[in-house]
Amino acid sequence: MMLIVGSALDMAPMDLHAMAILGAISYQSFNDAPFAASRPFDTRREGFVPAHGGAVLVVESLESAQRRGARIHAEVLGSESNADANHLPNPSTDGQTRVMTRLLKRAGVAPEEVDYVSAHATSTPIGDLTELRSIKNVFGKHAYDLKVNATKSMLGHTCWAAATVETVAAIMQMNCGTLHPSINVDNLDPEIDLDVCLAHPVKKDIRIFMKNSFGFGGINAVSLFKKWEAHS
């Protein structure tokens, strides 16, 4: 049994200044409307919004969970990571494509079996498009049958806690059969032609989902989760 912990974010003023210089955070257009600043997939996105949050996942063997009578929320099918050493704030389509492809192969999951992708989607001009291009590279025609949404549009970017926070959110959505919308998308970027769950919650029966987490410098991590079925 182990705990996967995403601790709460803390940034000094110098950290925020550095992020602004890099063009990574939103600081120009939405200071009077901070609730609208995190806007993945929108043409006016200009960077992520730092946010506070934390989460903990308990990961254990099936035998351990059943022995202690735990409520099982999901099955972990696999996780992969890579470091493609790409330029600091600019993500790499090649690196993201490789890690997603490798995970599917390692987990023995066909692309067509994945129903939903919980996107990294930070609301940066380059990052959102790079991720969606990578998804299309990996899933091909099936990408247009996937549901994709951006939890950061609602929460902002909890940074080093984001992977755990958004995994918890994705598992809850899977078990409820309802995906939250990607909000603050007033004008969808014309390059984005996948279903990114605009405007309203989406009812969806999800059996397997992928969680993407991509960091500065090409540090990429992707996980696959399956809905728990007691007979499996």
pLDDT, tens only, 121-153: 999 999 999 999 999 999 999 999 999 999 999
Determine the distance from the C-alpha atom of residue 173 to the mean position of all C-alpha atoms in its chain, rounded to a whole number: 13
> Does 231 map to a domain?
no
Contact between 149 and 197 (Cβ < 8 Å):
yes
pTM of the model: 0.95
Domain that holds residue 136: 2-226
Q: Which two tokens stand for residue 147?
A: 């549901």
Residues 92-121: tens digit of each pLDDT: 999 999 999 999 999 999 999 999 999 999
Question: Does the residue 232 lie in any domain?
Answer: no
Q: Going along the chain, which residue ranges are E strands?
A: 2-6, 55-59, 75-83, 116-118, 147-149, 178-179, 202-203, 208-215, 219-226
Task: Summarize pLDDT for 149-188 with one digit per residue, the tens.
Answer: 999 999 999 999 999 999 999 999 999 999 999 999 999 9
Residue 171 belongs to domain with CATH number? 3.40.47.10
Please state the domain count of the chain: 1
